[in-house]
Amino acid sequence: KQEVTQIPAALSVPEGENLVLNCSFTDSAIYNLQWFRQDPGKGLTSLLLIQSSQREQTSGRLNASLDKSSGRSTLYIAASQPGDSATYLCAVLTSGTYKYIFGTGTRLKVLA
Amino acid sequence: NAGVTQTPKFQVLKTGQSMTLQCAQDMNHNSMYWYRQDPGMGLRLIYYSASEGTTDKGEVPNGYNVSRLNKREFSLRLESAAPSQTSVYFCASSERGGENIQYFGAGTRLSVL
């Protein structure tokens, strides 16, 4: 059974820092992996989708990498800003299923 | 475009009452999903609809029923609400299953007393 873990659960950094959020999964037979952002009281917004054949995806200050063999993905945020404060979730789609399995998220606070 | 619209935004029920959560998307997506989000549990899939006329159970379907009314609308029904169903419910859609980005609604916050 696929399990997705995100560590740390919470992170507080000063503005301007580069930071890395981690996501690990137990079954490496994945179809793709998505990173989402969730603001308090809101729904989820997809940030990046990495197909299993890809090693990384970039969007603006965000870069997500995928290492299937080790069951890991990282979300790199460059030059963090207070507006980046949110909860970041990763979700894994295991091959042969339609069900995304979500991690419990990392709650990020960027201090001005 | 409104994207994915969920109604209501908030609801309080008494144990045993029934209600239907509504979801509609205007992106002409084929696949729609219902999730629940609980503290410390992450999002869990309740039901999934790959296309109009089809539905499948997710991880936690017990106590729920769904209807894919047409391509746009996917409703979630609680027949006899229980306190364990207190949660935040999210509807999502994607163009075609898990291959594509999922778009989420703003959620329905449900309390069952």
List chain A residues with CB under 8 Å of B103: 46
- Are the C-beta atoms of residues B46 and B60 closer than 8 Å to each other? yes
List chain A residues with CB under 8 Å of B40: 104
Given A34, A93, A104, which is nearest B41 (Cβ)? A104
The alpha carbon of residue A47 is apart from the nearest alpha carbon of chain B, in Å, by 9
Element (H, E) at B31: strand B31-38
Residue-wise pLDDT for A28-58, tens only, equals: 989 999 999 999 988 999 999 999 999 999 9
The alpha carbon of residue A42 is apart from the nearest alpha carbon of chain B, in Å, by 5
Q: Do B45 and A32 touch (CB under 8 A)?
A: no
Angle at A15 between CA A14 and CA A20, to 5 degrees: 75
Q: For chain A, what is the HEC assignment?
A: CCCEEEECCEEEEECCCCEEEEEEECCCCEEEEEEEEECCCCCEEEEEEEECCCCEEEECCEEEEEECCCCEEEEEECCCCHHHCEEEEEEEEECCCCCEEECCCEEEEEEC
- Are the C-beta atoms of residues A2 and A68 closer than 8 Å to each other? no
Q: Which of B25, B51, B102, B108 should we substitute to test contact with A (largest number of A Cβ atoms within 10 Å)? A: B102
Compute the mean pLDDT over every residue in chain B, rounded to the nearest whole number: 93
d(CA B19, CA A66): 41
- Are the C-beta atoms of residues B55 and B62 closer than 8 Å to each other? no
CA B48 remoteness from chain centre:
9
List chain A residues with CB under 8 Å of B41: 104
Q: Do B107 and A42 touch (CB under 8 A)?
A: yes
CA A17 remoteness from chain centre:
17
The alpha carbon of residue A9 is apart from the nearest alpha carbon of chain B, in Å, by 10
Q: Do A44 and B104 touch (CB under 8 A)?
A: yes
The alpha carbon of residue B109 is apart from the nearest alpha carbon of chain A, in Å, by 9
Residue-wise pLDDT for B34-87, tens only, equals: 999 998 888 999 999 998 889 999 999 999 999 998 999 999 999 999 999 999
Lowest mean pLDDT among A80-94, B65-79, B98-112: B98-112
Tell me which residue of A97, A1, A47 sits closest to B103, measured CA to CA. A47
- Are the C-beta atoms of residues A6 and A104 closer than 8 Å to each other? yes
- pLDDT tier at A1, thresholds 50, 70, 90: confident
Answer whether A55 touches B (CB < 8 Å): no
Q: Do B45 and A100 touch (CB under 8 A)?
A: yes
- Encoding tokens for residue A79? 């030059």
pLDDT of A24 over the 80 cut: yes
